[in-house]
Amino acid sequence: MKEKITILDKRTIEVNLPSVDGYERIAMESSASFAKIGGLARDRIEDLKTAVSEACLNAMEHGNKGLPEARVVVNMHLGHKNFRVWVKDEGNEIPHIPSTIDIRRKVERLEPPGGLGLYLIQQLVDRVDFSEEADGGHVIEMVLKMDNQTTPYPLDENQTQTAMGGAR
């Protein structure tokens, strides 16, 4: 099994992992380190770590069906106003993504367990989107606003491409 971290440019990195329990920590710590370089507040970094970990675990378990040879690719982009993270699996089926989760019903066991990771992600980030890729796989995009943050390290201010290939 190989894991790989690639610096695509000064504002974008990619982490490529096998679907193996524990490897989500590599993506979690990489995103935290990169967000810290970008000046994201400490409490928001903790939110980011939890959201990235949950997204990776969902990709491994539900998207890749626990197959260790299936990959989870995590792209991170430090924009001028947002920190974006994309987690992509290699799954072929569209997983059921509930539009809302009623925590009360889950706690009272009126609904089957599960789906709490997505609920947690939605509570921790400023925006979350789900999509299916044309070449297969699913992507969850998570956005955290960089409001009132300072960048402690110099970054190329002319960088406008996102980690997934298009201008945002």
**Close Cβ partners of 163 (under 8 Å, ≥ 6 residues apart):** 8, 12, 13, 14, 75, 76, 77, 84, 86
Interatomic CA distance for residues 58 and 138, integer angstroms: 11
The greatest distance separating any two alpha carbons of the chain, rounded to the nearest whole angstrom, comes to 51
pLDDT digits (tens, 9 = 90+) for 116-146: 788 889 999 999 999 988 888 999 999 999 8
4-145 CATH: 3.30.565.10
Full-model pTM: 0.81
DSSP, collapsed to helix, strand or coil, labels residue 25 as: helix
* pLDDT at residue 73 greater than cutoff 90: yes
pLDDT, position 58: 92
Select from 86, 99, 94, 100 the least CA-distant residue to 27: 86
Taking the domains of the chain in order of start, what are their residue ranges?
4-145
For residue 164, what pLDDT is reported? 46
Tokens of 2: 């190989």
